Amino acid sequence: MLPTEPTERPPASIRSARMQDLVRAALAILDDEGREALTMRRLAEDLSMRAPSLYKHVQDKAALEAALIEDVLFEMGNVLHAALARPGRRG
């Protein structure tokens, strides 16, 4: 059975400020232009960096994608927790 009350939020990954910038910029590219537009080279250009410099902050594109997925799932969790906490909801 699914919980009807919010459960404790698991801890998010600890990220450097630069990694947070990478994830925000990658999400902006995805939102604006779709997944085909998100390349490491494009991300570097948007951040005024050279593509090889990205790898000082993220292991590879798969690690960046995992960070994006984590952020989206946490945001979904926030929305669901707010919905569960809303007065007058049906349970």
Average pLDDT, the chain: 88
Q: Which residue has the higher pLDDT, 30 or 87?
A: 30
Q: What is the DSSP letter of 35?
A: G
Q: Report the range of poorest mean pLDDT among 29-38, 56-65, 68-77.
A: 68-77
Q: Which residue has the higher pLDDT, 81 or 40?
A: 40
Tell me the average pLDDT across 54-70.
Answer: 95
Q: Which residue has the higher pLDDT, 86 or 36?
A: 36
